[in-house]
Structure 1
Amino acid sequence: MRMNPLIQFMKQVQGKINSSVYASLQGQSSPQHVAFLRQLEKELKVEESLTVPLNDLNVVVFDLETTGFFPEQGNQILSIGAVKVKGGEVQHEETFYSLAHCTGELSPEIKELTRIEESELVNAPQLSKVLVDFYDFARGHVLVAHHASHEKKFLQHYNWKLFRSQFKHRIVDTSFLLKIAEPNVNLVRLEDCCEHCNVPVIDRHHALGDAKMTAELWSVYVARVQKLGIKNLREVYERLSR
């Protein structure tokens, strides 16, 4: 029997799963899933990705489009886009994209930026399903995002709100590699980083478009930090801590 992808994903989450998670999932998961969670509490292990050579590291590069910057103030996730990268090679055919059901009107600024209209969100899947599908797609991979604090904040908030589950999956920020490879280059915006690396800027502020550009950026900088002798994520973090 195939397990719920959210439950499988939680194998990669640090920390103890408490009884409140079981109560939260009772209404939306089968008894088998709840039993699996109870067993998981005894067996929980964290996937060790820090020592995997960068050439062998499988990552999912992703992006969120949202209604604003503050989920705790009610800002919502509009869409999630992602693409897989194996080692430093972007897997262009292995992508994920979904809109998420969103209530309320979008601001004119958000509609202009994302080119998403309220009418597209009315029949979109509920965010809980979109997140489960995304975690299924990302299962077994390290997550990567560009200036990842935005994505991490939203995933932490909605994982707790929807599943009563702490989100502690490692998200590697592309800016980590940029700081190591080019410490004197001060670039922040995704489009500026892409132009600096001759990565075409296509479908900016579309979740999948941004994920694809970030994946190309990741590929460029994985190659550059390896030329500096950095072999894995542990050495990335060690270099940043100096």
Structure 2
Amino acid sequence: MKDMRPAGRMWQLYKMGGLTPAITSMFDAQSAQQMAFIRSIMKEQRKNSLYEISLSTVELVVFDLETTGFSPYNGDEIISIGAVSVTGTEIKEESTYYSLVHPKRSIPGEIEKLTGITNEMAADAPDLLHALRGFLEFVRQKVLVAHGSGHDKHFLNAALWRTSKVNLNHRLLDTMMIAKWLHPKLKKYDLDTLLDVYGIEVTKRHHALEDARMTAHLWTGMMREIKSKDVQTLGDLYAHLSHH
């Protein structure tokens, strides 16, 4: 008699079709569809070579995450995702993505105060898999931009692996790294400092979509300086950043 407990069922499915179908079948049909979409986006991204694309026409998505803390590997979770489309130096103000995310854990009081996202708000939000699907449907094959991207990349990678067993394959540019190259004598490179340096209006900090919008304006300001240095393509930019 076959063992139909979860572990036994997983083993039977694995023997019949491999690990991915086994994992996928353990979820409901809608979740399986979300996972399949996320995996297909990452597979397509691996095929893309973007280095020759002109910085004047490159399609980007500037994004930001709000989280319950700083460590996705020690129980912290994404609580909101915000993103805005940019082509070259043109911010597509009408093309944005924003979603709260149900973290399936309590949001600490200091994070509620910082972000304005309460436990009550999060309780009605989409789960992580659905929010990721929406985000990646918005991003597609575009280059990602974030400020201080290490934090966001760690959380995205942890979330993608946990939900879909894939890693982030998108090209990622960090406005903090670009600022260090363009302004090596600055004492600080946090977002608030750079918004001040570039004369960008501060709307609402620690709101994922508003932070993404302000970072997009930071990117466009930097692009004018980058082009003055005869950096024309995405590959040129990566080559310069690799030395810093």
TM normalised by structure 2 equals 0.83
Can you list the C-alpha shifts for 1:152-174, whole angstroms capped at 9, x where unaligned? 00011111111111223221111
For residues 33 and 135 of structure 1, the distance between their equivalents in structure 2, rounded to whole angstroms, comes to 10
Can you list the C-alpha shifts for 1:129-155, whole angstroms capped at 9, x where unaligned? 000000000012111100100110001
Larger Cα-atom Rg: 2
For residues 105 and 227 of structure 1, the distance between their equivalents in structure 2, rounded to whole angstroms, comes to 48
**Which amino acid is 2:22 matched to?**
A
When residues 38 and 202 of structure 1 are mapped into structure 2, their CA distance, relative to the original with a 3 A threshold, is closer
Deviates more, 1:171-180 or 1:157-166: 171-180
Give the root-mean-square deviation of aligned CA atoms: 2.7
Counterpart residue number, 2:234: 233
For residues 147 and 40 of structure 2, the distance between their equivalents in structure 1, rounded to whole angstroms, comes to 35
Alignment of 1:157-172 (within 5 A): 157-172=158-173
Does the CA contact (< 8 Å) of 2:37 and 2:133 recur in 1? no
Counterpart residue number, 1:150: 151
Counterpart residue number, 1:174: 175
Deviates more, 1:100-109 or 1:39-48: 39-48
Does the CA contact (< 8 Å) of 2:176 and 2:190 recur in 1? no
When residues 38 and 143 of structure 1 are mapped into structure 2, their CA distance, relative to the original with a 3 A threshold, is closer
When residues 161 and 60 of structure 1 are mapped into structure 2, their CA distance, relative to the original with a 3 A threshold, is same
SS in 1 for 2:47: coil
Does the CA contact (< 8 Å) of 1:146 and 1:174 recur in 2? yes
For residues 103 and 36 of structure 2, the distance between their equivalents in structure 1, rounded to whole angstroms, comes to 32
Bigger helix share: 2
Counterpart residue number, 2:68: 67
For residues 106 and 34 of structure 1, the distance between their equivalents in structure 2, rounded to whole angstroms, comes to 26
* 1:38 to partner: Cα distance: 10
**Which amino acid is 1:172 matched to?**
L
What 5-or-longer segments of structure 2 have no aligned partner? 1-17
When residues 176 and 28 of structure 1 are mapped into structure 2, their CA distance, relative to the original with a 3 A threshold, is farther
Does the CA contact (< 8 Å) of 2:157 and 2:168 recur in 1? yes
* 1:188 to partner: Cα distance: 2.2
Counterpart residue number, 1:108: 109
**Which amino acid is 1:96 matched to?**
Y
* 1:48 to partner: Cα distance: 1.5
**Which amino acid is 2:195 matched to?**
C
**Which amino acid is 1:163 matched to?**
S
For residues 101 and 93 of structure 1, the distance between their equivalents in structure 2, rounded to whole angstroms, comes to 25
* 1:42 to partner: Cα distance: 9.8
* 1:45 to partner: Cα distance: 4.8
For residues 79 and 39 of structure 1, the distance between their equivalents in structure 2, rounded to whole angstroms, comes to 23
For residues 161 and 148 of structure 1, the distance between their equivalents in structure 2, rounded to whole angstroms, comes to 20
When residues 76 and 44 of structure 1 are mapped into structure 2, their CA distance, relative to the original with a 3 A threshold, is closer
Does the CA contact (< 8 Å) of 1:22 and 1:34 recur in 2? no
For residues 110 and 31 of structure 2, the distance between their equivalents in structure 1, rounded to whole angstroms, comes to 41
Does the CA contact (< 8 Å) of 1:54 and 1:231 recur in 2? yes
* 1:189 to partner: Cα distance: 1.6
Does the CA contact (< 8 Å) of 1:24 and 1:164 recur in 2? no
When residues 237 and 43 of structure 1 are mapped into structure 2, their CA distance, relative to the original with a 3 A threshold, is closer
Give the fraction of aligned pairs with identical amino acids, expressed as a percent. 37
Does the CA contact (< 8 Å) of 2:61 and 2:143 recur in 1? yes
For residues 91 and 34 of structure 2, the distance between their equivalents in structure 1, rounded to whole angstroms, comes to 33
What 5-or-longer segments of structure 1 have no aligned partner? 1-18
When residues 106 and 34 of structure 1 are mapped into structure 2, their CA distance, relative to the original with a 3 A threshold, is closer
Counterpart residue number, 1:195: 196
